[in-house]
Amino acid sequence: MAEMTPRKRALLCMTGNKQRADRISCCDTLTTATVDQMNAAKAPFPEANRDPELMYRLAAAAWEVIGLEGFKLPFDLCVEAEALGCSINWGRIDRHPSVESHVFGDLKDLKIPENIVERGRFPLKYDVEARLRKNYGDYLPIVNQVTGPFTVAGHVFGIEKFCIWTKKRPQEEVKEALMQIAEMNIADCKQALRSGADLVCIADPSATSDILSPVFFRDVMVPVYQNMARKIGAPVVIHICGNTSAYLPYIGDTGFDAFSIDAQVDVAFAKQVVGKKIAIVGGVPTITALLFGTPAKVREFAVEAVKKGVDMLMPSCGIPPRTSTENFKALVDVARCLVYV
Amino acid sequence: MSRTSEEIVNAFVKAIVDGDEEAAAAAAREAVEAGLDAYELVTKNGGEAMTVVNKKYETKEYFVPEVLCAANALNAGVEVLTPHMKASTTAEPATVVLGVVEGDIHDIGKNLVKIMLSSAGFRVIDLGKDVPVQKMIDAVKQNNADVVGMSALMSTTMPVMKKVIGALEEVKLRDKVKVIVGGGPVTPEWAESIGADARPHDASAAVGVTKELVEKLRKERAGKQ
């Protein structure tokens, strides 16, 4: 029998085929970087977001230091906005970069250059992905993260303004802007897949149901996501922050392979609603368990999530930078010794 | 034929609930011409309208975009009415310092709370987003704040709330001010564990919670004297 590599395991688990894997995967498709890893790899924020060597070392640390079964790039959600002209606050060792200014005053000002994936830090990301592939072969999966269309719209237009437009502008115009951003995401993924990435994580934190109605999600976001699912050409996991329970009836229609749920969504409930339409990944709360809990508490949550049927064991959101290695490793330990229930 | 006072007030309230800026401004202008009390229109009727909006938000008929539109409509009305307002004769309003914690730039929730609290008559000092811990402490001191409200929308920035509360303790201000926290990932359990006084479950709940805390605080102060 062929060896079950972490790469095969992750691809099986995130596409809803965990029964064919030897055990559950703990490939974290969200932000993996912690201060401990930065110190161990001598690759601190904010420099590791911009320097190729440091970015490589910090990406590799997910596996080398913690044992997470995959690499994920980049660490922040600003690559798209930066390439489109937004100014970025680069943060510091325990603070992720964030978008400081918006660039488009109106929906019709949105212009995405043809060569967008050659701009900003896109090429840097592909270079590091290629280097990881070269050095680790096919053993571990490489996750290309893209910032989802709604979140990028919030970055380039300003989130409040864009929210108001969802009510005041013709829905077709709003959808069209999101579609254009999605095309940039698709072009990015295609380049990343050529550079060595195996799978895609769309992080669209702003599309949370704390902000948007399930009806808007169904009528506007789902068609935009369907377009992405059709064109990307690799397994896709989508992460949306907050309590997304109200999206569960529609999330399976996106055509994505997996839905990464935040701590406010119950794994068992999610599994029950989506059935076999889409895999559910996540399960370990970042704040109560990983950041402020103990290894025992992390194990407790992780075991519970597996019992409830989670398809891939991951933190419920991007990891807080001050999370201890001890706690983070406890998640990996559970995946290593557990199959699925 | 011109409308009755009642019709104008109803049109003003409806315009806010519908999130219609132009209609709200038009009703406000009509109210000024008809000689209605501008102050009452803003605080009482504007407040009523936002209560309806709150309720719709709470029952998930409205979401953030609808609330933002309503707030814009209220603001459009307030802009027209402000020059016509006579000074308030009501009791000294309580002061609330609001801010999104350092490292976090997600301010929709905080802005909603600001709108709700302002329309309920609180004096709101808005520090904006990405507010350094020290700046928050300074604002509490300088404004003699009754309540400090902070929000974090990212699980990565939530821990800063704990720092702010620690800093308040250090400068011996913790007993003098009530602390409310909010934001998507902030659970009531977490709020309690860091020693916050309350975690309203959404922006609309913030008004009631803040009123209760201010009453409690004023009683505590009276008890000490």
Quick one: B46 and B111 in the same domain? no
Quick one: B162 and B123 in the same domain? yes
Q: Of the candidates B19, B109, B155, which has its C-beta nearest A318's C-beta?
A: B155
- What string of pLDDT tens digits covers the 225 residues of chain B? 578 999 999 999 999 999 999 999 999 999 999 999 988 888 788 888 988 988 898 888 999 899 889 988 998 998 898 888 765 545 678 999 999 998 887 787 888 888 778 877 889 999 998 899 999 999 999 999 999 999 988 877 888 999 999 999 999 999 999 999 998 778 888 899 999 999 988 777 888 899 999 999 999 888 876
The per-residue pLDDT for range A241-293, each reduced to its tens digit, is 989 999 999 999 999 999 999 999 999 999 999 999 999 999 999 988 999 99
Q: Of the candidates B65, B130, B155, which has its C-beta nearest A320's C-beta?
A: B155
Confidence tier at A13 by pLDDT (50, 70, 90):
very high
Give the end of a domain, one of B25, B51, B84. B84
Backbone angles phi, psi at B147, to 5 degrees: -135, 140
Alpha helices in B34-107 (DSSP H): 38-40, 47-58, 64-81
SS3 state of residue A29? coil
At A277 the pLDDT is 96
At A138 the pLDDT is 94
At A220 the pLDDT is 98
Closest by Cα among A272, A285, A276 to A243: A285
How far apart CA B61 and CA B43 sit, in angstroms, is 24
Burial of A300 (0-12, 13-18, 19+ CB in 10 A): middle
B22 in any annotated domain: yes
According to DSSP, residue A284 is labeled E
At A31 the pLDDT is 92
B199 in any annotated domain: yes
At B1 the pLDDT is 55
What is the rounded end-to-end Cα distance, in angstroms, of chain B?
Answer: 59
How far apart CA A46 and CA A54 sit, in angstroms, is 10
Give the end of a domain, one of B84, B116, B151. B84
Quick one: B108 and B153 in the same domain? yes
At B210 the pLDDT is 93
How crowded is residue A246: how many other Cβ atoms within 10 Å of its Cβ? Answer: 17
Q: Sort out which chain A residues have CB atoms less than 8 A from B185's CB and list them.
A: 241-242, 262-264, 286-287, 317
At A123 the pLDDT is 98
Mean of per-residue pLDDT scores for chain A = 95
How far apart CA A319 and CA A314 sit, in angstroms, is 10
Burial of B33 (0-12, 13-18, 19+ CB in 10 A): exposed
Quick one: B188 and B108 in the same domain? yes
Is B156 within 8 Å of A96 when comparing Cβ atoms? yes
How far apart CA A69 and CA A332 sit, in angstroms, is 8
Beta bridge pairs of residue B180: B149, B198
Quick one: B129 and B204 in the same domain? yes
How far apart CA A182 and CA A235 sit, in angstroms, is 16
Is the CB of residue B177 less than 8 Å from the CB of residue B168? yes
Is A163 within 8 Å of B64 when comparing Cβ atoms? yes
Quick one: B64 and B17 in the same domain? yes
Closest by Cα among A236, A311, A314, A299 to A268: A311
CATH number at residue B143: 3.40.50.280
How far apart CA A32 and CA A41 sit, in angstroms, is 13
Q: Of the candidates B72, B105, B185, which has its C-beta nearest A164's C-beta?
A: B72
SS3 state of residue A78? coil
Q: Does residue A332 register a pLDDT over 60?
A: yes
SS3 state of residue B106? coil
Question: Residue B215 has which token pair?
Answer: 């009453």
The nearest CA of chain B is from the CA of A51 a distance in Å of 22
Backbone angles phi, psi at A166, to 5 degrees: -60, -20
Give the end of a domain, one of B50, B84, B118. B84
At B194 the pLDDT is 92
The per-residue pLDDT for range A191-249, each reduced to its tens digit, is 999 999 999 999 999 999 878 999 999 999 999 999 999 999 999 999 999 899 999 99
Is B63 within 8 Å of A216 when comparing Cβ atoms? yes
Closest by Cα among A257, A38, A275 to A141: A257
At A338 the pLDDT is 76
At B199 the pLDDT is 93
Is A160 within 8 Å of B159 when comparing Cβ atoms? no
Q: Are strands B95-100 and A312-315 parallel, antiparallel or unpaired?
A: unpaired
B32 in any annotated domain: yes
Quick one: B117 and B186 in the same domain? yes
Question: Residue A201 has which token pair?
Answer: 């994580």
Domain boundary assignment for chain A: 6-337
Chain A contacts to B (CB-CB under 8 A)? 31, 89, 91, 95-96, 98-100, 159-160, 163-164, 166-168, 205, 208-213, 216, 241-243, 246, 262-264, 286-288, 291-292, 316-322
B182 in any annotated domain: yes
B90 in any annotated domain: no
Mutation to test the A interface, candidates B56, B57, B64, B161, most A Cβ within 10 Å: B64
B174 in any annotated domain: yes
B197 in any annotated domain: yes
CATH class of A6-337: alpha beta
Quick one: B77 and B99 in the same domain? no
Q: Does residue A335 register a pLDDT over 70?
A: yes
Closest by Cα among B148, B49, B138, B43 to B94: B148
Q: Does residue A114 register a pLDDT over 90?
A: yes
Q: What domain range is B172 assigned to?
A: 95-224
The nearest CA of chain A is from the CA of B39 a distance in Å of 27
Q: Of the candidates A95, A167, A287, which has its C-beta nearest B185's C-beta?
A: A287
Quick one: B210 and B131 in the same domain? yes
Q: Sort out which chain A residues have CB atoms less than 8 A from B110's CB and list them.
A: none
Quick one: B107 and B217 in the same domain? yes
Is B68 within 8 Å of A164 when comparing Cβ atoms? yes
The per-residue pLDDT for range A35-63, each reduced to its tens digit, is 999 999 999 999 999 999 999 999 999 99
- In angstroms, the Cα distances linking A234 to A199, B29, B80 are 6, 58, 55
At B88 the pLDDT is 54
Number of domains in chain B: 2
State the amino acid at position A45 in one-letter form: F
Mutation to test the B interface, candidates A165, A204, A211, A264, most B Cβ within 10 Å: A211
Quick one: B75 and B101 in the same domain? no
At B91 the pLDDT is 62
B177 in any annotated domain: yes
Backbone angles phi, psi at B41, to 5 degrees: -60, -40
Quick one: B79 and B99 in the same domain? no
Dihedral sign, Cα of residue A278, residue A280, residue A281, residue A285: positive
DSSP A94-161: TB--EE-----SSGGG----TTGGGSTTHHHHHHHHHHHHHHHTTSS-EEEEEE-HHHHHHHHH-HHH
